[in-house]
Amino acid sequence: MARLFGTDGVRGLANKDVTAELALQLSVAVAHELGSSGTSYGGRRAAAVVGRDPRASGEFLSAAVMAGFASAGVDVLDAGVLPTPAIAYLTARMNAEMGAVLSASHNAMPDNGIKFFAEGGHKLADAIEDAITERLNNDWERPTGVGVGRIRPFPQGADFYMEHLLDSVPGRLDGLHVVIDAAHGAASHVGPEVFRRAGATVDTIGGDPDGLNINDGYGSTHLHRLQQAVVDRGADVGFAFDGDADRCLAVDADGRTVDGDQIMAILAVDMKERGTLTGNMLVATVMSNLGLLQAMAREGIEVVQTAVGDRYVLEAMRAQGYTLGGEQSGHVIMLDHGTTGDGVLTALAIARRVRAAGRPLSELAAVMTRLPQVLVNVKGVDKTRVDDDEIVQADVAAVSAELDGSGRVLLRKSGTEPLVRVMVEADTAERAQQYADRLAAVVQSRLAL
């Protein structure tokens, strides 16, 4: 049986893969798995915080999740449209045993997903997700009368979240001109508003969600409109979120992209200077650009690399108490201030660094030089053999030797498809493409199904 939970919750085509029935059953199972300590806070029963992004299917799916929680005897705070990290924060702030977000992140509008949080706003461990799956469709004794949960609106959640952001990143942004691309998503209100409260001059694009337009040509996967807006409006910096605002990419005053690796480099140097970078350690994934590792070595900062996925970054951070980690895609985790990637928090931290340093973002981002990176997806192959095939591994070793420290090679198996990803970094784009094509041809010839 295929695993129900993916790397970030349950996700698929709304009303086909992710249905109201599944949402209700999952929330009942989550309530039973996480709500057993419902008397741990002053004798009250278990509580949940629920939020969603603006996509249309989130309306009926969030209703189903809240119905499932309440039918299992859990009191529900309905926070409405808010970013995923806001729900994680509010789950912890309200001492709730669980939280849920209806979002498919950067996916197109027809998709949706369900992410659950445990007590403290933490993502669920694999073992907990498996236990929840086993509980689906189990017989259970349904509470009645005063035993059923109550569902109450929680409009103050947005203000609580914004207060948390401003407390986490102190310092005014007066005089800074910012463009926010909210992807017509969950941060369409709180993203621009928190920057205004911090004193910045704010222009907004992609900030008019109608339930159908989320991620449609806007946001962190479609930067061209933000790049143009920053240049046309003479702004100092631009920030783009994805649909649920757990990731952020930036644009400098000249319209150049500042990716997640560069953002982590800027924040790591800043935190080291302020003494808040625990152990002078940064946690990144194996997909982070070699330029990040080289830059951090120059700055006296060590980089721990994990498997791809912000959950693995977070696991490494929590295990060792590290305070900064993230991914090239713009998921950045500041563990002193949140339990998950937070795009708005990341944007505020970068803006504060620009304002406090009195230097443009382009100059701060120059702390690292991105090596040209080429990624080739080789489809229709037996990915299980890639690590053991002697010819493939010999050619990987040969290319690595030819790069001689000026680049690197990485072969990754897809988690969901018969596909191998060939990633090559080199000192020039031409060399990177040449080596990637060479390795992809070897993988295809050796492992074709």
Catalytic residues: 105
Return the number of other C-beta atoms located less than 10 Å from residue 383's C-beta: 20
| Separation CA 263–CA 244 (nearest Å) | 19
Instruction: Print burial letters for 6-24: b (CB count within 10 Å at least 16), e (below 16).
Output: eebbbbbebeeebbbebbb
Residues in the chain: 449
> What are the C-alpha distances in Å from 139 to residues 52, 64, 135, 359?
29, 19, 9, 62
Token pair 């407390």 is at which residue? 167
Q: Is the dihedral of CA 120, 121, 124, 125 positive or negative?
A: negative
- The secondary structure of 252-288 as a DSSP string is ETTS-EE-HHHHHHHHHHHHHHHT-SGGGEEEEETTS
End-to-end CA distance of the chain: 22
Q: Is the dihedral of CA 129, 134, 137, 139 positive or negative?
A: negative
Q: Which of 183, 169, 213 is nearest to 349 (CA)?
A: 169
Q: Is the dihedral of CA 232, 223, 80, 63 positive or negative?
A: positive
- The secondary structure of 2-43 as a DSSP string is --S-BTTBEEEEBTTTB-HHHHHHHHHHHHHHHGGGTTTTTT
| Separation CA 31–CA 8 (nearest Å) | 19
Q: What is the DSSP letter of 139?
A: -
What's the gap between Cα 396 and its chain centre?
A: 31
Token pair 């698929």 is at which residue? 12
β-pair partners for 448 = 381
Return the number of other C-beta atoms located less than 10 Å from residue 56's C-beta: 17
The C-alpha R_g of the chain, in whole angstroms, comes to 22
| Separation CA 357–CA 142 (nearest Å) | 58
